[in-house]
Amino acid sequence: MLMMQKVMPNPGFGTFRLEGDTLKESIHAALEAGYRHIDTAQFYGNEKGVGEAIRDSSVPRGDIFLTTKVWFDNLEPQRLKESVDESLEKLGTDYVDLLLIHWPSPDNEVPMEDYLTALKEVKAVGKTRHIGVSNFTIEQLDKAVEILGKGEILTNQIEVHPFLQNRKLVERCEQHGIQVTAFMPLAVGKVMDDATLKQIADAHSVTPAQIALAWVNQRNMITIPSSTKARNIQSNIAAFDLVLSESEMADIAKLDRKERIANPDFAPTWDE
């Protein structure tokens, strides 16, 4: 496996479906536990709260790797740039560390060349330090690299957990030198009920969730688990100190059943 220099702190803290006081308290708990990577998106509707939580924390903005994502309604080039300005205003910052295309344009309504060129232009004026994509297939990723050039795309953020291991796409990302960011690493809690993960967890005196996160980490991926409980936020980051044996990794590899959770009607045609 190609080992890539991780620009993004691992793990990140995911904020999907978090809002209000719960959002702020969770971000503060994450920062206190040692997280230095916060992931949000225009679609989440919580950029303002994320920005406030970061400002209210004791951790300087410059120490935090902040990611947001452009929603597919905003991919027309001028609208993309305007939406980024709106995101920065809500977040209360002059820049984000990573700006992603959240989903490829459905049915290629906005040509990829148009919105990726606009994304690169946003980076050129300093509004983001890195750019990347999310939910891109092998074919789309190849085309994106062709448009932007090698080394421009930092990450492809995709669904990865023990029940959807996405190996072909992960391998293509590695071939391009693109870091994989795994979202939904705990399969919305389903990892807690898996017998194999429970058995491995018992052997390490940890939880199945921690085993799933350690597995993602050992596959050289960034991941962005989410939780509203301080105890789980702390145990999630502690999982990155775990080392699984080759046989344990092989047992988890057998759990792949191509169980996709994030599959909206505008999703691309997925790789097998």
CA distances from 233 to 23, 61, 70, 208 (A): 13, 20, 26, 14
Q: Which of 35, 44, 95, 115 is catalytic?
A: 44
Answer yes or no: is 266 within a domain: no
Q: For the segment 10-28, what is each residue's pLDDT rounded down to a tens digit?
A: 999 999 999 999 999 999 9
Average pLDDT over residues 208-230: 97
Answer yes or no: is 105 within a domain: yes
| Total count of domains within the chain | 1
Distance CA 3, CA 200 (A): 25
Answer yes or no: is 145 within a domain: yes
CATH of the domain at 106: 3.20.20.100
Answer yes or no: is 267 within a domain: no
pLDDT of 5 reads 53
Residue 260 makes CB contacts below 8 A (sequence gap 6+) with: 159, 164, 270
3-class DSSP state of 151: coil
What type of residue is 90?
Answer: K
Answer yes or no: is 131 within a domain: yes
Distance CA 89, CA 93 (A): 7
pLDDT of 4 reads 52
How many Cα atoms occupy the beta-carbon half-sphere of 123 within 13 Å?
19
Q: Flag whether the pTM goes above 0.85.
A: yes
Q: Is 102 annotated as a binding residue?
A: yes
Judge whether 44 counts as a catalytic residue: yes
Answer yes or no: is 111 within a domain: yes
Q: Which domain holds residue 91?
A: 13-184
Answer yes or no: is 210 within a domain: no
Residue 202 makes CB contacts below 8 A (sequence gap 6+) with: none
Tokens 């951790």 sit on residue: 59
Is the bond leading into 208 cis (omega within 30 degrees of zero)? Answer: no
What type of residue is 32?
Answer: E
Answer yes or no: is 166 within a domain: yes
Q: For the segment 167-217, what is each residue's pLDDT rounded down to a tens digit?
A: 999 999 999 999 999 999 999 999 999 999 999 999 999 999 999 999 999
